[in-house]
Amino acid sequence: MKTKPILIFLPLFLFLNILIGQPAEKFIKVLVAPDHSDWMYKKGEPVKFTISVLKNGNYVPNVKVKYELGEEKMDPLKSETIILASGMQQINGGTLNKPGFLRLTAIAEVDGKEYRNLATAAFSPEEIKPTVQNPSDFDSFWATALQDLAKIPMDAKMTLIPERCTEKTLVYHVNIQNNAPGARLYGILCVPKKEGKYPAILHVPGAGVRPYAGDINNAEKGIITLQIGIHGIPVNMEPFVYNDLVGGALKGYPSFNIQDKNRFYYKRVYLGCVRANDFLTSLPQYDGKNLVVTGGSQGGALSIVTAALDKRVQYLAALYPALSDVTGYLQNRAGGWPHYFDKNNKSAHDFPAVMQTLGYYDVVNFARRLTVPGMYTWGFNDETCPPTSMYAAYNLISSPKELFLALETGHWTYPEQGEKLTNWLVSKIK
């Protein structure tokens, strides 16, 4: 879930694309594709995968390929090394008799170097149901938390950043009191200079620890933007500070205090997103009605959470939301990032207290409570936020929703995804 630093003066779709990153083009291309153009199958319907290896647009003959076939994030059902005499071969992938995803991963060896790609077939994904528990006191738990938050003064401090300001936009480093005295929330605020009232976008972050530069481009277009960090530290420090924190004090933060629902790390994070909206809606430039939230990965999760908790939010746009149906592994299927219960992490988290905590924080239980329209996008090849986990949340959403699938994308986006998401979001508030 590591992401790159944000650059300024970028449209929102580029801003999101840099946030998430894209794979670099390679000299040798391994292509894997199911035999349905939409990668969709009914339960019990057979799938065939085609593996192709190309160099300079032509098939590579007699190339050695190792492939693995199985449900996403699970141990492979089949593993085989073959020689592609013509550079292309079709593989019988079998089927799934339950809703889910079947993935073929291929690794080709060319001139002593390995090249990897994958494809993932969906079997009735609209029928995927969540595994995570829905606590009976979920609503009262968060209602109490929001009431307690409202009692804490914002104590907002805004520091102008002259070198980032433009002819049309003022840029500030903001510092707000979060859900307890001494707990702070930091971000980059961009406000149009021209006098008037403006809609607002809250940008919530993907996982990691990094500085931020803000969404200046949309502020130039007449939108107040606030890009926040989640760790209670300034977001304008030197990069080495964040690198030190990643390997030190904040290493493994998604599991901090996970056995206590009242002290779990994400409680302050979720409430901090609402507190960011408290600040945005308090600004004299805010138009009093148009407030939206967007982000990718962990930020996709926070977009759904924020829209569910804060009734001031009118729309959300989420790219491949993390923290969705994290208990899937306990039912022998993929669970969401940060993979608390996969084979590498299960021993550290498989306790009743952890299970209880996560019910209050899983995106599934916020998705089922959404009441506002949302735009969502992801691909089937995501190995960080498995599509099984995302569909588990998406299928529960009863409010208006749109899903834009870019099938072959993994934990990255095409420009077209960002453009579609941006155009949808901005059209709602302009």
Is 65 inside any structural domain?
Answer: yes
Q: Which residue has the tokens 């084979």?
A: 343
CB-based contact 115:30 (threshold 8 Å): yes
pLDDT tens for the 430 residues of the chain, in order? 333 333 333 345 444 444 456 788 899 999 999 999 999 999 999 999 999 999 999 999 999 999 999 999 999 999 999 999 999 999 999 999 999 999 999 999 999 999 999 999 999 999 999 999 999 999 999 999 999 999 999 999 999 999 999 999 999 999 999 998 889 999 999 999 999 999 999 999 999 999 999 999 999 999 999 999 999 999 999 999 999 999 999 999 999 999 999 999 999 999 999 999 999 999 999 999 999 999 999 999 999 999 999 999 999 999 999 999 999 999 999 999 999 999 999 999 999 999 999 999 999 999 999 999 999 999 999 999 999 999 999 999 999 999 999 999 999 999 999 889 988 998 898 7
Last residue of a domain, one of 112, 127, 142: 127
For residues 361, 362, 367 and 368, what is the CA-based torsion angle, rounded to 10 degrees? -90
Pick the last residue of a domain from 79, 96, 127. 127
Q: Are residues 339 and 319 in the same domain?
A: yes
The Cα 256–Cα 268 span in angstroms is 11
Torsion angle defined by CA atoms of residues 163, 165, 166 and 170, in that order, rounded to the nearest 10 degrees = -170
Cα–Cα distance, 39 to 35 (Å, whole number): 7
Q: Are residues 175 and 117 in the same domain?
A: no
Q: Say yes or no: 270 and 330 in one domain.
A: yes
What is the value of pTM for the model shown? 0.94
Q: What is the CATH number of the domain that holds 232?
A: 3.40.50.1820
Q: Are residues 90 and 223 in the same domain?
A: no
Residue 2 covered by a domain: no
Shared domain check, 406 and 262: yes
Please indicate whether residue 411 is annotated as part of the active site.
yes
| Torsion angle (degrees, nearest 10) of CA 277, 282, 287, 293 | -10
Q: How far is CA 413 from CA 15, 100, 196, 204, 315, in A?
A: 11, 22, 34, 17, 21
Count of Cβ atoms closer than 10 Å to residue 251 Cβ: 10
Give residue 59's domain range: 28-127
> What beta strand segments (E) does 25-110 contain?
28-34, 40-41, 47-55, 58-59, 63-71, 78-84, 88-94, 100-110
State the CATH number of the domain containing residue 69: 2.60.40.1930
Residue 44 lies in a domain: yes
For residues 70, 73, 79, 82, the Cα torsion angle rounded to the nearest 10 degrees is: 90
pLDDT recorded at residue 25: 85
My answer on whether 150 and 52 are in the same domain is no
From the list 215, 325, 362, 382, the catalytic residue is: 382
Query: Could you tell me which of 278, 281, 297 has the C-alpha nearest to residue 289?
Result: 281
Determine how β-strand 88-94 pairs with β-strand 113-123.
unpaired
For 165-211, the pLDDT digits (tens) are: 999 999 999 999 999 888 999 999 999 999 999 999 999 999 999 99
Look at residues 75, 108, 127 and tell me which one is the last residue of a structural domain. Answer: 127
Torsion-angle region of residue 10: left (phi > 0), alpha (psi -120 to 50) or beta?
beta
Tally of structural domains, the chain: 2
Q: Report yes or no on 7 lying in a domain.
A: no
164 and 123 assigned to the same domain: no
Asked whether residue 6 is assigned to any structural domain, the reply reads no
344 φ, ψ (degrees, to nearest 5): -85, -20
108 and 206 share a domain?
A: no
297 is an active site residue: yes
282 and 162 inside one domain = yes
Q: Which residue has the tokens 């059902």?
A: 77
The yes-or-no answer on residue 382 being catalytic is yes
- Kindly state whether residues 228 and 373 are assigned to the same domain: yes
In this structure, is residue 3 part of a structural domain? no
Measure the CA–CA gap between 89 and 83, rounded to whole angstroms.
Answer: 9
Residue 261 lies in a domain: yes
Q: Is residue 1 part of a domain?
A: no
Q: Given the residues 173, 231, 339, 411, select the one marked as catalytic.
A: 411
Q: What is the dihedral sign for C-alpha 255, 257, 258, 262?
A: negative
Q: Let me know whether 221 and 340 are in one domain.
A: yes
Amino acid at 104: L
Contact assessment for residue 425 and residue 373, using Cβ atoms and an 8 Å cutoff = no
- Four-CA torsion 248, 249, 250, 255, nearest 10 degrees: 110
Query: Which residue in 52, 297, 324, 389 is the catalytic one?
Result: 297
Answer yes or no: do 100 and 137 share one domain.
no
Question: Could you tell me where the beta strands, DSSP code E, fall in 302-359?
Answer: 315-319
Residue bearing tokens 């579609």: 420
Between CA 13 and CA 377 the distance in angstroms is 12
